[in-house]
């Protein structure tokens, strides 16, 4: 496939704040915040921010990292390791370690959450059973008659 004159590959393309906001369902304030924190570094044309392919890729990774519970500091640390000239080896090692730690923490959280849900389900059954007994005995239901 040949490139026509004037065509830009995705890597050469720039993105407006509006385009990235729509694509990633974030607000302009979010992008400006990430810029302020040093996670994104758009070029400027007057007051206009022009985000590069690299910024777009970093935004995707930032949002993915946040979704799984990484702090912005952790995300920045992993992204900034990309700039080392070691073929991304350090970045990949650090990312692998951090991701495994986060995965383990989420798995522990899932077990704790499953236990909390089971406990709450049992408690709801007990309370509902107590309500049913009281209603069958003719006692008014305080929740229903509270008005």
Q: What is the pLDDT along the chain (147 residues), one digit of tens a residue?
A: 444 444 556 788 999 999 999 999 999 999 999 999 999 999 999 989 999 999 999 999 999 999 999 999 999 988 888 766 676 788 888 889 999 999 999 999 999 999 999 999 999 999 999 999 998 876 555 555 555
Count Cβ atoms below 10 Å from residue 27 Cβ, excluding itself.
Answer: 10
Measure the CA–CA gap between 115 and 110, rounded to whole angstroms: 9
- Half-sphere CA count of 16, side-chain side, radius 13 A: 5
Q: What per-residue confidence (pLDDT) applies to 141?
A: 55
Q: What per-residue confidence (pLDDT) applies to 14?
A: 93
Q: Is 98 exposed, middle or buried (0-12, 13-18, 19+ CB in 10 A)?
A: middle
Containing 111, the helix (H) or strand (E) segment is helix 89-136
Measure the CA–CA gap between 35 and 27, rounded to whole angstroms: 13
- CB neighbour list of residue 39: distance below 8 Å, 6 or more residues apart: 58, 62, 72, 75, 76, 79
Q: What per-residue confidence (pLDDT) applies to 2?
A: 46
Query: 44 - beta bridge partners?
Result: 49
> Domain segments of the chain: what residues?
12-70, 84-136
Pick the CATH number of 12-70 from 1.10.1660.10, 3.90.1170.50, 3.40.630.10, 1.10.3720.10: 1.10.1660.10
Q: What per-residue confidence (pLDDT) applies to 11?
A: 80
């Amino acid at each position: 496939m040949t490139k026509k004159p004037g065509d830009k590959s995705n890597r050469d393309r720039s993105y407006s704040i509006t385009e990235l906001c729509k694509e990633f369902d974030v607000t302009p304030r979010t992008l400006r915040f990430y810029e302020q924190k040093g996670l994104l570094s758009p070029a400027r044309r007057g007051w206009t921010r022009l985000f590069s392919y690299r910024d777009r890729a970093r935004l995707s990774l930032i949002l993915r990292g946040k979704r799984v519970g990484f702090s912005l500091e952790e995300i920045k640390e992993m992204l900034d390791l990309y700039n080392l000239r070691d073929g991304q080896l350090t970045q990949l090692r650090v990312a692998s370690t951090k991701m495994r730690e986060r995965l383990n923490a989420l798995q522990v959280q899932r077990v704790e959450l499953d236990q909390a849900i089971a406990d709450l389900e049992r408690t709801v059954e007990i309370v509902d059973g107590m309500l049913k007994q009281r209603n069958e005995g003719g006692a008014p239901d305080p929740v229903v008659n509270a008005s």
